[in-house]
Every structure is written in C-alpha cells, then in structure tokens.
Structure 1
C-alpha cells in the first residue's frame, strides 16, 4: 500500500538554498541565553538607534488619514517622487517615473531582479567577501554564482583584471556592493572607472549596485556610484538602496531600485503577483525620511565613527587578529588566519574560522560571524552597531579567549 505523505513535497530548488548563516548564529545565541549565560553579540546587522521622530510621526499621520489600503504594486506617487529627488541629489541621476521600483526592502528587490532576469545557467559575478545572501539568491533563481576572490592586497575590492577574467558568454550580472558588507570597503571613482572600462567591452553584462550603506560613510567625500562614473551605461545598471540602514528603519521594510523601465516593470509585475505592494504606512514613513534633513545621519555617523575606532583599536591590540579599518558601513572585517591551527585548553584544534568563533562564544560569550559565511574563510565580521560599553566588554572577552589558546 502506497504511503501518502502528510506534507507537500518540496521543489528541487530548495536543495540549492541554505539557511542564512545569520539565522544559524542567532539560534546559537538563543541557546546560550536560554541557559542563562551572558552573550555579547557582535553580529547585529541593523542600527541600534531608534527611527527618527519625524518619520514615526509621518507614519502615525498616515494611519490617522486612512492611508492603510493597498497602493500601486510599485509604490505611492509621494514615495516615488522622494526617491527620484534623492537620486538626483546624490548621484545626479534624473530618473523617469517608470525607472523606479519600490519593494519590501532592498533585499526583496535584489531577489526580484534576479528572478526577472536569470535563465538556467546564467552567471552572476560576486566578489568575495560578499553579503551572505547573494549566492543563494542567484542559485535559487536558476543562476550560477561566480565567486571572485579579493584580498587585503586590493583592499578587498574587485580589480579590472579579475573582472575581465571572470566574464564569460553566460555572464548576466556583476554584483557591486559599496560600501561593502562585510568589509566596509568603498570603491573610489578611479576604481569604479577601471571596472566600467571592462564592462564597456562586454555589453551583455549588467551591474547590480547595492548601495544600502552609502550614507554610513567615513570618508571626506560622498560614496561614488557607478551610475555617476558611467551615466551612458544607465540601461545596464540597477541601483538598489533603501531606508533601513541610514534611517534606522530595518523593520519598516522599504527598499527602492533605479534602472531600466523594462526591468522595473518586470519587478513590479512580480511584486503584484507575490506581496501585492509594500506597506502603505511604511511608504509614508520612508518618504518623510528621504525628504528630511541630514541631521540624523550626521549624528549617527559621528557615533559610528567613534565606535569603529574603538573596536578597530581593541582588536588590533589582540595578538593574532588583523582588522581592517572600514571606510563605510558598521562592520569590522578581521583576518584570523594566524590563529588557525591553535589548540584550546581541552585539546581541541581550531582549524577553521567557525571553530574559532565557537571558541569565542564558549569561552567569552562573544559572538562573531565566521568569514566562511561570506565566502572568505580565515576571517570574521564584527558589528559596531552597539553601544561602546558592549564593545569594550566584547574586546576584553576576545582578548581573554585568544589568550586561552595555544598557538601552533
């Protein structure tokens, strides 16, 4: 007699996608907290600041005005206008109304862009270290992520030579994340120009520019964008941003993209058949954020800068840790290769960054995300989107944990 499963069979594509490494780490943290142990999570991927008051007030006003219904799948006119104004102000890009798309976070728009454009076997070039979700987003949509390694010698940035070597006839996209999560690397105009020069000779390759951290910038000049360096390639550039990081609005779930009218229409169609539209109240709040002044960003970036310097200084003082100073974002990327091959007090070898991260957690309650999650083993990512007291305690804990291992 045939056995009838009491659940639907999963599609084959589910075997190609993994659980988010951040989720796995969060589960491990909850295990320790449930056991009553203090945990210092340097894993936070969101600002610890509250959403600005004027943004919250705009949301409340929208609720009171009855703006709680479906909107266009592609966002309200007010939000789209605010996005167009912001893009013109920041990049000089004058977008038509049909060259903007709005979604439930920048993450959703990246996923929908791949869903709209990738056929089976299409290739997407992803420089490593990379944000954890890029390869799985490509894979689940039928594409093949081509991971191109970068290292400290280039500031963890893709070079023109490496890009040229990675392009094939099947290449559909290059993903360019600046400022980068996890390294904090920012491409300057000359570096972008060198990459663009390669792309000019490969017209079948488009560029997905993830600029979600562009306002959290520690340089003297604004973070440059590929669209400002090569405006003639605007039909091949899809610029993705949002309000989550700059305005402490991660839970509001509003992102936006700017690109060709064809791609934006396709993304809007996909959204209309999936989530219908972004939250109407969140859209009102996002419009207020984009229209607001720069005070909130300036104040928070000044705090981030202090925390960055505190964490980099503390990590640099620990023998075996080699952090780099991030130019943007709120993460410190640290080389731990010198500690691999070490031994814990109970005789266990530490051969991987994941095993080292587990040692940090067990010994000091400090949580970092291993570099292999970002396609770059031998490193870890630590967030400084936490108050200075927590950062000091975490650095002290890491120093203690490192002192407890025997170097090879």
Structure 2
C-alpha cells in the first residue's frame, strides 16, 4: 500500500502533477558500471563523466521562491527543492529545519548531505534505491514531502508569532501598570511636584514605548486596516505626546526647585535626566524634518536609565515602606519591568536595522554569484533571483550591457537563460569536430 498523500488544494494540484509526471519519467534508471573505475557503479549525475549519460535538467517552478530541479542520468536522479520563504522568519525556520534533517542524513538514505547551491534540500536516488524500493513510493514520498514542508513551516511560524504576540501584550500591560503606579504615588504631592514623576512616566514609559511598539516587525500581529502611513501618523502623535509631557514635567520640577532655592542638576538622576530630555527633543525634531535621523532612536536606553535612577530618589524612598526587604523586592520588580520595556524597544530597533542590512548583503551576494561565475551545462536552465530588480544596478554594476550580453532580463519574473555561454559553445564545436 502506498504512502497516503494529503488532499491537495486547487493551487497546488497542477504544480504537484507536473512534478509527479517528471519524476515518473526520470526514474527510468538502471545499473550502469562506471566508465572510469572498474567494477564500480558511480552516480553519473554526480560525477558527470560523460554527457551522453546525462539528461537535460528540468526546473519546475510554482513562483519565484518555490521550485524544484530534477537532474537525471542513466543510473541516478538528483532532486533539489527550493522551499517557499516569504519573510525572514520563514527563512530562519526553514534553515533550522533543514539543518535538523542534514544531521540525520545517515538514517535518511536518499538525502544528500549538502544541497545544490540556490536550493534548500537535495535528494540523490540511485539505481540501488530503485531496486530495493518501489518507484511509485519514492514519487509519493517526494510529493508528500513538498506538501508537508510548507505546512510544517507555517505551523512553526504561527507558534513563534503567537509567542511574540503574547510578549508584546505583556510589555504593553507592564507599560500601563508602571504609568498608573507613578501617577498614584504622586497624586498626594503638591501641585507642581506631582506633575514631574507622573508626566515623565507617562512620557517615556507610556507614549514613547507605544510609539516604538507600533512598528512591530511581526507581520501576523498587524491589523490589515492599519497601513504604513497610518502607523507613521500614530507614531507622530504619540511622539508629540511624549514631547509635551516631558516639557511640562521638566518645567514643573525646575520651577519647584526655583521656589525652594535649591540647586539644579546636582544628582545623577537630574544630570542624566537633563541629557535624556535634551536628546529626546533633538531626536523628535530630527524625526519631524529629516527621516534619515530616525535610526538614531537607540537613545531610548538613556531615558530608561534616567527613570531607573528615579527609583533611588528621596521622593520614591519616602513612598516605600520602611521594611528593607519589601523595599528591595519592589525596587527590583520595577527595575526589571523597566529593563524589560527597554529591551523590547531596543530589540525591535536593532531587528529592523539588521534586517535591512541582511537584505543588502544578500542582494549583493546574489548579484556577484549571478554575473561573475561561469555557468556550466547543468545550470543552463536557471531562474533569475527576485531580489535583483530591487537593487540599484547603477551602483553595483557599471556596465549594463554586460548583463544583457549574458542573456538576463531585469524584470522581476522568472526568466530562463536563453543561450549558453561562449565557453560552452566552444566546447560543443570542438566535440562536433
């Protein structure tokens, strides 16, 4: 009885039917002894000792990121699969899953330890496998693997996204609770001083954290009714609230000390608070007029350092109970909460910048491999990587004519290399002579 195959969707059926028919035709392999080494049988698709023993490679593609390469020969078949990877999270999950499979290649007889370049996983099936296993079962296994790998990655992505959504919800709740705590503690102070801790907490723990958190990189948590422009608009409003609250809080504590004839900025809390206040104002102005300065938002750690020093102020100590153990527990709980919020903000910022850097390096490496590596006969049918049209070709390649002479098109679609390289033509003419 053959291995059960899950029901196909209408979108997958033509793609899988084409793969099944191609594999059934390619599995016409037989025992063929090596022409180089006596009494040995080497997979001709790997050693490529003679072109007469190789079949033309076939690429079956469903879209730009999902394709399969079938390379046949007289005694072996090599199947390479490129798994669909829509975003960075799917790329990470796919890489870890493939690494897990490669570590168990000894128990997986048809799995190739090292996949073909530009593909995620490769299978090598020889005539010995075809003699000991049913061919239709091998075909069913490849089809089953193609269907299950997408399902497995999607389930892993949902699990990771759900955990990230929970942590983001916890961070929002912690932010709101911290703001309410400082508002309640400062409620019974005089008219000027109570504005300082309450509005500073609302400014940095409330508005600024929510302004950064709205640009979450988790695509599954974003509302489809919240486009990018609306996110930027809400971010601007929240940052405006941060500026207004911080200015009022700074003015209130300044006037309070002026009324009491006390010196300004003598403690670490006051000194770092002044630096954080001035830097946040400059950062907000740069964000309003020059978008290039938005990446220097990492100063969020400075504002949280100022808030942490506020926990060691005399006002906060007077609000806490006299018991040292209880005070230490409350102090460390509040410190951990603020560090958690700072970590979430800085983690998101660095993730956004590192993602952009990853894409730039990836595109550059793809272009270098596409245009500066000699192509052999097995690579005659290749797909143009979808990231090529996204790059600025003028900055990376001075002469566009060299690209066109190689037979490539810059359109963001799948293109097949039309003509072989000049070296291949020369070799073909020599063989004819």
Sort the TM-score into its range (normalised by shorter chain): under 0.3
Greater strand percent: which structure?
Answer: 1
Greater helix percent: which structure?
Answer: 2
Larger relative CO (CA 8 A, sep 6+): 1 or 2? 1
